[in-house]
Amino acid sequence: MIGGMTMSKIIAALFTAMTVGSLWMTYQGTGLQSIKTHSTIKQIRSTHAGSWGSSGGGFSSGK
């Protein structure tokens, strides 16, 4: 039977491995290469669309 002590050791070891692994992958940049794009116009449109309109109150579809 796996007692509580053994279980806590397994979980602690798992988290230690996860911590070391994540630090190493962060250091190496493994899987972290990416591109993020931004569109000011799209941002404005999406913010405006579906927001509470200023003319007369109520929900505005943005059309």
Partner 1 sequence: MSDTKSVYSIKCTNCAAPLEIRGGGRVTTVTCQYCNSVLDMTAEYKVLSQFHDKYRPPVPFKLGMVGEIKGVEWTIIGWVSYRTTDFPTERWSEFFLYSPLYGYGWLIYEEGLLSFSKRVRDFSLLKWQKDGSSKVQFFRKSHYRLVEEPYDIEIDFVQGELSYVAKADDLIRCWDYDGPSHKSITIEKSGHELEAYQNEKLNRREIYDSFGVAKDKQVDEKLGAVDSMFDEETLEASDESRRSFLGKMAILIVVMILAIGYSFVSSKALLQIDANQPFTQSIRVDSSAFLSKIVIKAPTPKILDTIKLDIYNGATLIFTIDKSNLYSKSGYIGKTWDKGDDEATIYMKLDSGEYRVALGLSSPLSANDKVKIVIQEKVMRLLYLVIVLVLLFISVLVSYKSSSRKESSEAKSSGKSKYLWWFLAVLFGYFMFGFGSMVFLGAFYLFASNIGSANSSDSDDWWDDDE
By CB under 8 A, tell whether 48 contacts partner 1.
no
CB of 33 to partner 1, least distance (A): 5
- The Cα-based distances of 6 to 15, 19, 20, 22, 53 in angstroms read 14, 20, 21, 24, 59
Nearer to partner 1 among residue 42 and residue 51 (C-beta): 42
**Distance between CA atoms of 45 and 62, rounded to whole angstroms?**
8
Which residues of the shown chain bind partner 1 in the complex (CB under 8 A)? Answer: 1, 3-5, 7-9, 11-12, 15-16, 18-19, 21-23, 25-29, 32-42
